[in-house]
Amino acid sequence: MSARVVITIVLRVRTFRTESSRWSGAASARRLLMPARETEAIILKTFPLGEADRLVSFLGRSTGRVRGVAAGARRLKNRYGSTLEVLFHVQIWYVEKETRELVRIQQADLLESFHKAQSDYGLSTGLAVISEICELILPEHEVSEPMFRLILLAAREVERTGGWNLPLSYFAFWTVRLGGWLPRFDRCVACDSPFGSNAAYYDAHQPGLFCEKCRRPGMKLFRPEVRALAERFAGERLDRIEYEKSMQTSARELREAALAWIEYHLERRLKTRELLETT
Ligand SMILES: [Zn+2]
């Protein structure tokens, strides 16, 4: 079958589905249901709910972060239940209710899974950190195309390379940058003197980088090599950066600093962060 034929069939099926869900949406509008919506989405979190259902939080590419119930998703014969795994990339159909906060998930088709990362404890910890951060920083119903692309890029690289050190470092750095929380890397936030080739210092209790003179007890080192890696991250796509053994320490230090800034802005500790230290 040629690619064009496949695409045409897929488009037909899609159109049919959208039409049929529109019909059912229209029919149930009288019961306070809004018309069905469809979006590409990344599953952020799922929890068992009752005997057979799942509570699912997802980031819709065109809808932002949404929480909903997938009824019957935990039953064996349910066709889409297995697609609702953390960071899986899906096409999702759901209906909103005027009176409730949770949407009702009707259907999910798998676009991309991360089975290798999902089934390995160490790798799944990396995915869990991404999921926890997104769940906490992304406001509900607010579209964020850059974060959507960043999550997919990081998850794909964890899956492809079989390691989370570089992907998670890149993810944390860009999350801080997209959040507008990145401190100046060239000057001390307290006395404004330039770092030059000297190290800087930071902690999770205040934003910014400090110089040797202004550093407070307990602050962590932010070496010039870490600043250099951050500059690479700012200018290069993750999947074009070749991981070298020499980057290992800088990637870890940059990730730790970025996670500290994320925690500062969230005003809470990330639960998954400790798990990273043990994998
Ligand atoms: Zn200073």
| Cα–Cα distance, 43 to 85 (Å, whole number) | 6
| Cα–Cα distance, 217 to 13 (Å, whole number) | 62
Strand, helix or coil for residue 126: helix
Q: Report residue 174 as tokens.
A: 């860009």
DSSP structure class, residue 153: H
Q: Over the stretch 190-231, which tens digit does the pLDDT of each residue have?
A: 999 999 999 999 998 888 999 999 999 999 999 999 999 999
| Cα–Cα distance, 36 to 70 (Å, whole number) | 14
Q: Nearest CA to 267 among 136, 109, 169, 102?
A: 136
Q: How far is the CA of 255 from the centre of ligand 1 (A)?
A: 23
* pTM, rounded to two decimals: 0.85
* H/E element, 211: none
Q: How far is the CA of 200 from the centre of ligand 1 (A)?
A: 9
Q: How far is the CA of 270 from the centre of ligand 1 (A)?
A: 29
Are 53 and 73 a contacting pair, CB within 8 Å?
yes
Q: Over the stretch 104-160, which tens digit does the pLDDT of each residue have?
A: 999 999 999 998 998 999 999 999 999 999 999 999 999 999 999 999 999 999 999
Q: How far is the CA of 59 from the centre of ligand 1 (A)?
A: 40
Residue 33 — pLDDT band, cuts 50, 70, 90? low
Q: How far is the CA of 209 from the centre of ligand 1 (A)?
A: 9
